[in-house]
Amino acid sequence: NAGVTQTPKFRVLKTGQSMTLLCAQDMNHEYMYWYRQDPGMGLRLIHYSVGEGTTAKGEVPDGYNVSRLKKQNFLLGLESAAPSQTSVYFCASSYSATGLAKNIQYFGAGTRLSVL
């Protein structure tokens, strides 16, 4: 049981290049999330999805796009990378997003992205 898998683990981009980060979960979770983690700022929510075919903006969505074509996959795209997008990106999933215990989130190992 792999849980949440993120690919790639590391990537270096030049300013203006594009890329897609892939997140896959095998727990049949409805909800999936993309966060970025920067020093001293904790985790900030970029986009999230409440089910297949749906996406919504989080706290810091600018410069990113997402898609959830299949329940198990959540893709994060950077169309034109900027140095400010240098960060560690984490994907997470949860069974539900209610206030009950089932909103515990399970995280991937992260993708370290540098934009030069």
What residues line the site for another protein (CB under 8 A)?
Answer: 4, 33, 35, 40-43, 45, 48, 58-59, 90, 92, 97-101, 103-110
Q: Are strands 87-94 and 31-37 parallel, antiparallel or unpaired?
A: antiparallel
For the CB of residue 76, give the shortest distance to another protein in the complex, in Å: 15
* CA separation for the pair 85, 64 (Å, rounded): 9
For the CB of residue 97, give the shortest distance to another protein in the complex, in Å: 5
* CA separation for the pair 101, 115 (Å, rounded): 38
Closer Cβ to another protein, 76 or 92, answer by number: 92
